[in-house]
């Protein structure tokens, strides 16, 4: 599958007849809401784990030195915390452009609490997309993030803002926090040289 997913996503018309749709964000969509929304609520999805396994050539890296950003991978029993936004369907044109480097819109069940849930959409970069970077040791991931930067800024900023947003949501994401610890140690070592 080509990395640019805009044309595939524009054919995704699942909620087109609806006045509004819930969008679940688990990465930069949590901390960078550069789109209009009607409501915003902390939420989670089940059966998916957040991983820094997607390459970023367009936002937090370059073709020569790609960064790493998060995607979701299926994992039984996993709970992924994030932020849900109620948006109007027109907003997807902007989001499809922003998430074009491999992310596809997927329908998911979004939970606001044990009792309250709704169907909505999220963006997932699956392992079939050309920019998929795949699993790596968390320390190696931190090394790659420490060196990368792109048009949206430093890759380390993405990681630190995400970790901060997850703390604010009360989410204990072992993968993200382990990479953050490695990154902060690397930065301290570099500063001490
Ligand atoms: C998301 O935030 O939901 C998708 C991944 C990203 O843009 O960082």
Domain of 127, CATH number, reads 3.10.490.10
pLDDT in tens, 138-174: 999 999 999 999 999 999 999 999 999 999 999 999 9
Identify whether 1 is part of a domain.
no
**Domain ranges, residue 169:** 6-188
Residues framing ligand 1 (Cβ under 6 A):
25-29, 69-70, 99, 122-123
**Alpha helices by DSSP H, the chain:** 6-10, 28-31, 91-98, 138-147, 155-168, 174-191
**How far does the centroid of ligand 1 lie from the alpha carbon of residue 193, in Å?**
34
Q: Which atom of ligand 1 lies nearest, measured to the CA of 71?
A: 5
**How far does the centroid of ligand 1 lie from the alpha carbon of residue 59, in Å?**
11
Identify whether 193 is part of a domain.
no
What region does 157 belong to: left with phi over 0, alpha with psi -120 to 50, or beta?
Answer: alpha
Sign of CA dihedral 104, 107, 111, 112: positive
| Alpha-carbon gap, residue 183 to 133, rounded angstroms | 18
pLDDT in tens, 79-102: 999 999 999 999 999 999 999 889
Q: 23: which strand partners?
A: 85, 121
């Amino acid at each position: 599958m080509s990395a640019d997913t805009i044309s595939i996503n524009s054919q995704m018309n699942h909620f087109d007849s609806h006045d509004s749709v819930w969008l679940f964000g688990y990465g930069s969509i949590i901390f960078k809401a550069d789109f209009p929304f009607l409501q915003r609520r902390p939420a989670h999805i089940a059966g998916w784990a957040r991983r820094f396994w997607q390459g970023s050539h367009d936002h937090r890296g370059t073709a020569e030195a790609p960064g790493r950003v998060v995607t979701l991978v299926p994992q039984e029993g996993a709970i992924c915390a994030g932020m849900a936004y109620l948006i109007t369907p027109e907003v997807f044109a902007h989001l499809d452009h922003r998430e074009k480097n491999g992310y596809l819109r997927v329908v998911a069940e979004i939970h606001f609490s044990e009792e309250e849930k709704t169907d909505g959409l999220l963006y997932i970069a699956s392992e079939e997309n050309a920019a998929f970077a795949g699993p790596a040791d968390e320390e190696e991931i931190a090394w790659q993030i420490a060196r990368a930067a792109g048009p949206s800024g430093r890759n380390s900023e993405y990681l630190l803002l995400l970790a901060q947003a997850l703390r604010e949501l009360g989410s204990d994401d072992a993968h993200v926090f382990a990479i953050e610890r490695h990154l902060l140690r690397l930065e301290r070592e570099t500063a001490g040289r």
